[in-house]
Amino acid sequence: YLAIAADPDTTTPTVENSFDVVTYDGQNSGSGQTRDIISDFKPDFVWIKNRNVNTVRHQLFDSVRGVGNVLMSDGTDAESFDSTSLISFNDNGVTLGYNGNVDLSGRSYVAWMWKAGDHDDNLPQINTEGSIDSVVSVNDEAGFSIVKYTGNGTQGATVGHSLSSPPELIIWKNTDATANWLVYSPLIGSDSEWLYLNATSSKQDSGSQNEYPTNKTNPTSDVVTINGAGSSNNINISGESTIMYCFTSITGYQKVGSYTGTGVSGLDVSLSFSPRFLLVKGVGSTGWILIDSQRGSKELYANLSDAEDASATAFVLGTNKFTVNSTGTWHNSYDVDYIYLAIK
């Protein structure tokens, strides 16, 4: 064999260069142009959503799956390739093509960007800690990793995630098949219940252990346990690829948390940092709400292609907290539990 060393680490990720929110107006006319979206770092996970057209779907890209490979959180679609979408991950952002889902004159967009790779080339790592080997790009200091693996169909198989503590929020998608996006957090329920990112469904509680994404086994600091071939949730089908986004809380930077609705407007949820990003869903039949500091209280929905709700005022991002100024079912219904991901 011939073995050659990878480039040495020269830029260790820090929380200061691990997440960014960028809003921009489309400029491409559809005639083959490209444009750069600037950030302070080289991102590994980029989530783009059009803000002003109802039919334009969410566009999710990551460096592990490769440029041009797109997933859409508002549906069950398998991964598709589009050479006119995200063209490259750059040292200071990304280059986009002329696809109207990411850049078109007359449209406005938001891009949420995460850094996962731990060196300049963003080379993924091979993780062999589980019974299934995984390809991982990880930013442990920021509590985030991107994990890709090929299912083996075995109930209770394990996959390494490369974080130093158990993931508190996991989002899966089978990239080869039409399948739901799965979301697990111990905060969803006491018995490994799960949610669908692409739907407003209440938390799921199946009678069959094999249906539970984590096979009713809590993630450890090394691995995530996954269900088997008999599951309809499709994250461990033999020979099929699945992507897994893992998050864990980091004091002063990121929080996977929950709150219980009071039914009274003005509910404050305390944090150890001032958030720039918020993803919220009730464990009942509510949508997945996306808020960020660039757009204020305006709401987008991970499970819907809808344009931004510019009239929304329910969530206010504040100093070391966010405030829920609503009594609505999707925001602050009495005695209903809500889970959230907040990032500085």
256-306 pLDDT, tens digit each: 999 999 999 999 999 999 999 999 999 999 999 999 999 999 999 999 999
pTM: 0.94
Q: What is the mean pLDDT of residues 58-63?
A: 97
Q: How do residues 303-331 score in pLDDT, each as one tens digit?
A: 999 999 999 999 999 999 999 999 999 99
Quick check: 120 pLDDT over 70?
A: no
Quick check: 177 pLDDT over 60?
A: yes
Quick check: 170 pLDDT over 90?
A: yes
Which own/partner pairs from 328-334 qualify as long-range (CB within 8 Å, at least 24 positions apart)? 329/282, 329/284, 329/285, 329/286, 330/282, 330/286, 330/287, 330/289, 331/261, 331/280, 331/289, 332/261, 332/262, 332/263, 332/264, 332/265, 332/267, 333/261, 333/263, 333/282, 333/284, 334/261, 334/262, 334/263
